[in-house]
């Protein structure tokens, strides 16, 4: 399924992060996200806005794997939500695959997500009533792909789950559930994968295996990835690490 002609230039590419590989997939410049205060602003209410992202400058290059680390509450999941088009930035500029997410409407953000972004969450976020195959097929079905199930089945085989196609999430181990989520995230061949602590609910060995699968898929498909993690050994496997602190990029380690 990775033999599409438009991907032919990326499949055999060496994994060096240094080579110039074309335009970055995401560019953030002074990106801000504020949530409205809770309540109606009356004397009992906490009406002040919460500034969660306070001017983020960063890029994710084509084919690059970037780790994001930082303390709890520093804004890592909010950063994923903004880059993934789940939350609209309230200031600055966020461009993902040349779509300006500061001005894009809901429909344009949904379209970007469906076509070009895969998201993997800490707690898997699978649909409980659906089998592994149905879960992994979902993005392809939403994209109107008539081969959705057979392509999803190939993807599940790729992540080592061909013997679990008809199992529901409750009948799968945590590591298996995350593999289904990874198959789902990669099924539509996204250009950018966003992973928010994908190993957070897994033991070290299972987490390492699951991340190994993600790294392999990123390299094979030429996708880029932003990987939020608390695990320093995992961050060290990425091309570059950005440290988020209190809604800003504190520093960058790596090339
Ligand atoms: N919907 C919301 N409304 C108001 N504040 C929010 C909302 N979502 C997140 N926040 C606040 O934004 C800040 C950043 O949250 P975020 O979830 O991005 O942090 P994080 O770095 O992912 O933390 P963790 O490592 O615990 O997952 C926190 O102070 C949080 O309380
Ligand atoms: Mg988080």
194-227 per-position pLDDT tens digit: 999 999 999 999 999 999 999 999 999 999 999 9
Question: Which chain residues have CB less than 5 Å from ligand 2, an ion?
Answer: 76-77
Say whether pLDDT at 75 is over 60.
yes
Q: Give the closest residue to 116 by CA, choosing from 85, 154, 82.
A: 85
Domain boundaries, the chain: 17-254
Band of pLDDT at residue 18, cut at 50, 70 and 90 = very low
Ligand 1 in reach of 52 Cβ (< 6 A): yes
pLDDT of residue 7: 39
Question: Is 60 exceeded by the pLDDT of residue 28?
Answer: yes
Q: What is the pLDDT of residue 37?
A: 76
Distance, CA 200 to ligand 2 centroid (Å)?
Answer: 10
**Residue range 234-244: mean pLDDT, rounded:** 95
Using DSSP's 3-state secondary structure scheme, residue 207 falls into: helix
Instruction: Give the pLDDT of residue 39.
Output: 57
pLDDT band per the 50, 70, 90 thresholds, residue 255: low
Q: What is the pLDDT of residue 41?
A: 52
* pLDDT score of 15 more than 60: no
pLDDT band for 16, please (50, 70, 90 cuts): very low
DSSP 8-state assignment for residue 50? E
- 3-state secondary structure at position 240: strand
56 CB near ligand 1 (under 6 Å): no
For range 82-102, the mean pLDDT: 96
- Contact call for residues 226 and 94 (beta carbons, < 8 A): no
3-state class percentages of the chain: helix first, strand second, coil last, to nearest 5: 35, 25, 40
Rounded to 5 degrees, what angle do the CA atoms 169, 171, 173 make? Answer: 80
- For domain 17-254, give the CATH number: 3.40.50.300
What pTM value is reported for the model? 0.88
Separation of CA 190 and ligand 2 centre (Å): 22
What's the pLDDT score for residue 45?
A: 52
User: 11 pLDDT exceeds 80?
Assistant: no
Count of C-beta atoms within a 10 Å radius of residue 39: 12
- The alpha carbon of 178 and the centre of ligand 2 are apart by a number of angstroms equal to 17
Q: 73 CB less than 6 Å from ligand 1?
A: yes
Q: How confident is the model at residue 137 (pLDDT cuts 50, 70, 90)?
A: very high
C-alpha 60 to ligand 1 mean position (Å):
22
Residue 59 has pLDDT above 70, yes or no: yes
Q: What is the pLDDT of residue 17?
A: 44
Average pLDDT, the chain: 89
């Amino acid at each position: 399924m990775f033999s599409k002609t438009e991907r032919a230039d990326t499949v055999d590419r060496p994994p060096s992060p240094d080579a110039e590989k074309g335009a970055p997939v995401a560019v953030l410049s002074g990106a801000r996200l504020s949530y409205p205060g809770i309540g109606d602003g009356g004397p009992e209410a906490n009406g002040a806005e919460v500034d969660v992202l306070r001017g983020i400058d960063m890029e994710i290059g084509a084919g690059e794997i970037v780790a994001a680390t930082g303390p709890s509450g520093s804004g890592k999941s909010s950063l994923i939500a903004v880059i993934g088009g789940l939350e609209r930035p309230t200031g600055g500029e966020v461009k993902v695959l040349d779509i300006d997410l500061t001005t894009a409407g809901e429909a344009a953000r949904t379209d970007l997500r469906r076509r070009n972004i895969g998201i993997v969450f800490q707690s898997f976020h699978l649909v409980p009533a659906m089998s592994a195959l149905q879960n992994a097929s979902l993005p392809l079905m939403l994209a109107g792909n008539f081969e959705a199930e057979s392509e999803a089945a190939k993807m599940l085989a790729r992540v080592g789950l061909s013997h679990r196609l008809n199992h529901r999430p409750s009948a799968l181990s945590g590591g298996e559930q995350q593999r289904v989520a990874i198959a789902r995230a990669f099924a539509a061949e996204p250009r950018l994968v966003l992973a928010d602590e994908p190993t957070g609910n897994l033991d070290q060995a299972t987490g390492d295996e699951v991340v190994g699968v993600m790294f392999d898929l990123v390299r094979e498909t030429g996708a880029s990835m932003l990987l939020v993690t608390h695990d320093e050994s995992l961050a060290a496997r990425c091309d570059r690490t950005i440290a988020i602190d209190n809604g800003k990029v504190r520093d960058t380690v790596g090339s």
